[in-house]
């Protein structure tokens, strides 16, 4: 795995879908009993369901401090799965004491591209938003095909 700087892309060449986060100084696996996964078909209405799923899980596990950012990140990544991959998507949320890891998997092997940001553009801001709201994000190939795009959100002071 390649180390990520804050908000940069990491392409993980592992053969399995690793849940790994670079925190600047060290990389660590994010595994937790405070993890949950849900899968939805390719329907735009499911993006709102994914946001509610993430918000509920984070609140139930003591992390309401990151709900606004997490909802926006999962919304952008799920939208990308529908618009660019054209497939259903799976959302995984892992809660740790110092970080939350969001992962959205889809059925496409095509890698996302960060678009140029600009006020006049109607599309292409999603990954820029993900990068701005997370301390790291990246792409992991899925073992059966497709990919996961993940983002980690650090704990907020007092969160």
Place of tokens 């329907």: 43
Whole-model pTM?
0.76
Instruction: Tell me whether residue 141 is in a domain.
Output: yes
Instruction: Tell me whether residue 111 is in a domain.
Output: yes
Instruction: Tell me whether residue 143 is in a domain.
Output: yes
What does the pLDDT look like over 96-106, one tens digit per residue? 888 999 999 99
> Among the residues of the chain, which ranges form H helices?
45-60, 67-80, 126-133
SS3 for 31? coil
Instruction: Tell me whether residue 12 is in a domain.
Output: no
Give 61's Cβ-side CA count (13 Å radius): 22
Q: How many domains does the chain have?
A: 1
20-34, 55-69, 79-93, 112-126: the lowest-pLDDT one: 20-34
Instruction: Tell me whether residue 87 is in a domain.
Output: yes
The CATH number of the domain holding residue 87 is 3.30.565.10
Instruction: Give the confidence band of 72 by pLDDT, cuts at 50, 70, 90.
Output: very high
Instruction: Tell me whether residue 139 is in a domain.
Output: yes
Average pLDDT for 61-86? 94
Length, in residues, of the chain: 159
Mean pLDDT across the chain: 78
Instruction: Tell me whether residue 124 is in a domain.
Output: yes
């Amino acid at each position: 795995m390649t180390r990520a700087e804050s908000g940069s892309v990491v392409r993980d060449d592992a053969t399995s879908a690793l849940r790994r986060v670079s925190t600047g100084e060290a990389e660590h696996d994010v595994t937790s009993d405070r993890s949950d996964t849900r899968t939805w078909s390719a329907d735009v209405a499911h993006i709102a369901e994914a946001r509610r799923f993430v918000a509920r899980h984070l609140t139930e596990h003591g992390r309401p401090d990151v709900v606004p950012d997490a909802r926006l990140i999962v919304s952008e990544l799920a939208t990308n799965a529908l618009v660019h991959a054209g497939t259903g998507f799976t959302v995984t949320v892992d809660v740790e004491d110092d970080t939350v890891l969001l992962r959205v998997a889809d059925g496409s092997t095509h890698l996302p591209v960060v678009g140029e940001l600009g006020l006049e553009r109607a599309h292409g801001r999603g990954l820029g938003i993900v990068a701005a709201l997370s301390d790291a994000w990246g792409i992991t190939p899925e073992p059966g095909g497709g990919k996961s795009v993940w983002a980690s959100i650090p704990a907020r002071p007092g969160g």
